[in-house]
C-alpha cells in the first residue's frame, strides 16, 4: 500500500505542497509499522508501534484539515466528493487513535490491538491513495483557472493556508514534515520506561 502511495506522490509537480508532504509522511510512518510486523525497522516494541500509530493518526488529522481547505476552493460536485472521503479518513484516524490509546493486557489482547492498528492504517492509506490523484487534478485545474483570471501569485499560496504548527518546522525535534522524529519519540519512550 505504501508503494502505491509513493507512486502517486511522485506524479505531483509540487512536491512541497502540504497535501503531498503529509501523505509522504504518513507513507513513511506506515512503512515503519509494516516493518515492525516483520520484526524489522526502528520500532522494536508494541509500545513503539502504538505510539507510531498515534502519530500517524495525528498526521491524518492534519491531512483532513488540508483536504477541507482544498474542498472550499473547488466546485460543488468535487467538494462533496472530497468532503465525503475526508469524513471517512477522519473516522478511520479517530478509530486508530482510540485503538492506539486503549490499554490492553495479555498477549491475545495485544495481538488484537496490533492487528486492529495495522488494518486501520491500511484503510487510511487506501483513502489517501485514492485522493492523491483527484487532489492533484483539482489543484492543477483550479490553479490554471485562477492564474488566467488573476495575478501571477501562486494558487496554492492564495487558497491553501498552511496549518499552524505547534513547533517551528526547522526545530531539532522535527523531521521537515512537522512531525517529531522517531528518534525523539524513542528517547521519550526510553525515558518513560526507565521511571
How far apart, in whole angstroms, are the C-alpha atoms of residue 82 and residue 68?
Answer: 8
Kindly report, residue by residue over 87-103, the tens digit of the pLDDT.
999 999 999 999 999 99
pLDDT at 148: 60
Give the homologous superfamily in CATH for domain 2-187. Answer: Alpha-catenin/vinculin-like (1.20.120.230)
Kindly report, residue by residue over 151-192, the tens digit of the pLDDT.
444 444 444 554 544 444 444 444 444 444 445 444 444 444
Higher pLDDT, 37 or 142: 37
Check pLDDT > 60 for residue 140: yes
**For the chain, what is the mean pLDDT?**
81
pLDDT at 1: 66
- In the chain, where do the E strands start and end? none
Kindly report, residue by residue over 28-56, the tens digit of the pLDDT.
999 999 999 999 999 999 999 999 999 99
Helix (H, G, I), strand (E, B) or coil at 189: helix
How far apart, in whole angstroms, are the C-alpha atoms of residue 155 and residue 47?
Answer: 42
Amino acid at each position: 500500500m505504501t508503494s502505491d502511495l509513493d507512486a502517486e506522490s511522485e506524479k505531483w509537480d509540487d512536491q512541497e505542497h502540504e497535501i503531498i508532504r503529509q501523505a509522504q509522511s504518513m507513507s513513511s510512518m506506515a512503512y515503519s509499522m509494516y516493518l515492525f510486523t516483520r520484526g524489522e525497522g526502528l520500532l522494536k516494541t508494541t509500545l513503539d508501534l502504538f505510539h507510531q500509530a498515534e502519530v500517524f493518526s495525528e498526521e491524518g488529522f492534519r491531512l483532513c484539515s488540508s483536504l477541507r481547505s482544498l474542498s472550499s476552493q473547488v466546485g460543488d460536485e468535487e467538494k462533496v466528493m472530497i468532503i465525503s472521503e475526508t469524513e471517512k479518513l477522519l473516522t478511520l484516524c479517530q478509530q486508530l487513535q482510540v485503538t492506539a490509546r486503549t490499554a490492553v493486557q495479555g498477549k491475545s489482547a495485544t495481538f488484537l490491538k496490533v492487528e486492529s492498528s495495522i488494518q486501520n492504517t491500511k484503510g487510511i492509506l487506501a483513502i489517501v491513495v485514492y485522493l492523491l490523484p483527484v487532489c492533484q487534478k483539482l489543484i492543477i485545474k483550479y490553479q490554471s483557472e485562477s492564474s488566467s483570471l488573476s495575478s501571477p501569485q501562486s494558487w496554492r499560496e492564495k487558497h491553501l493556508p498552511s496549518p499552524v504548527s505547534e513547533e517551528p518546522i526547522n526545530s531539532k525535534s522535527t523531521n521537515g514534515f512537522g512531525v517529531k522524529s522517531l528518534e525523539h519519540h524513542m528517547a521519550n519512550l526510553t525515558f518513560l520506561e526507565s521511571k
